[in-house]
Amino acid sequence: MIFSMRLKELRNEKKLTQQQLAELMKVGRATIAGYEVKNKQPDYVKLIWLADFFDVSLDYILGRTNIKKPLPESNLSDDQKECLTLFNQLPADDKRKITEIIRTLVNMSESKIE
């Protein structure tokens, strides 16, 4: 379900109709409608094409993350790499809790700026 919502959102951001996207992908419009409405899933080749075309990660388009395009690890500082390594070792429930705490802190910081 997340894939269908993400695909529609990305398509709309590029101001493309289902027909236009279908033509770019060399599939029928009904195929795109199936992805967006009927929870049909593309094969791996089409999924990779979509992620590349919309310049997002596969994890984003599949709903595994809300980060459209993560920073390449080579751009991270040593502290950021260490934090990422530690974070990735945590159980999923702890990751969710920490992510919520970070979101709250970011929102608090943004509201101080305004």
At 32-67, the pLDDT tens digits run 999 999 889 999 999 999 999 999 989 899 988 888
> Which string of DSSP letters, residue by residue, matches 24-92?
HHTS-HHHHHHHHHS-----HHHHHHHHHHHT--HHHHTTS-S-SSPPPGGGS-HHHHHHHHHHHTS-H
> Are residues 20 and 79 in contact, defined by beta-carbon separation less than 8 angstroms?
no
pLDDT bucket at 71, cuts 50 / 70 / 90? low
Threshold 0.85, pTM exceeds: no
Average per-residue pLDDT in the chain? 88
The average pLDDT across 84-100 equals: 86
User: Which pLDDT band, with edges at 50, 70 and 90, does 11 fall under?
Assistant: very high
